[in-house]
Copies of this chain bind each other. A is one copy, B any other.
Amino acid sequence: MHSMDSTDAALLALLQSDGRLSAAELGRRVNLSQPAVSARIHRLEQAGVITGYRASVDPAKLGLNIHAVIRLRTTHAQIPTALAMFDKLAEITNTYRLTGEDCFLLDVHAGSAERLERIVDTVARLGPVTTSLVLRAYPPKAVTSPQQQ
């Protein structure tokens, strides 16, 4: 865990909403010079607080109009098999392993009901699945340090 002050927290919040803000621009917003901001960001990266920068893509704009979540109940022995399977299915963009009955939670972005059906059928070979359509994904919030809350 990293020792954070409120300036670091502000920088993290800003970079989570716009990962392309320059050090100079960040400095303007948190009242710090560009080199000071650069140094802080470098420290946050080195410490593993910032793990990377990613572009966000709208799946629907790529024709992936169906967003679903699948819960899978499987056995402990099948976990490696399951992970290999998820890896091969490009429509599965997110995988959580959960407590409970050896459960996985998967995000699926599919281009058609037929594609979704195929994914569900494939995953269901490993155990019982529960599939729900995502009617709406609300904009994610920034992860903030506990002090801020």
A interface residues (Cβ-Cβ under 8 A, vs B): 1-2, 4, 12, 15-20, 47-64, 69, 83, 86, 90-100, 103, 105, 109, 111, 115, 132-138, 140-146, 148-149
- In the bound assembly, the distance between CA atoms of A97 and B137 in angstroms comes to 6
Contact (Cβ within 8 A) B62 A57 = no
- Find chain B residues with CB under 8 A from A61 CB: 1-2, 47-49
- Find chain B residues with CB under 8 A from A60 CB: 1
Q: Indicate whether A146 sits within 8 Å of B12 (C-beta atoms), given known contacts A133-B99, A141-B92.
A: no
Q: Please give me the residue from chain B that is nearest to A147 by CB atom.
A: B63
CB distance from A53 to the nearest CB of B (A): 4
- Find chain B residues with CB under 8 A from A132 CB: 98-100, 103, 105
- Find chain B residues with CB under 8 A from A18 CB: 52-54
Contact (Cβ within 8 A) A62 B136 = no
Question: Which 7 pairs show the lowest CB-CB distances between chains A and B?
Answer: A15-B55, A19-B53, A111-B146, A95-B138, A98-B132, A99-B133, A19-B55
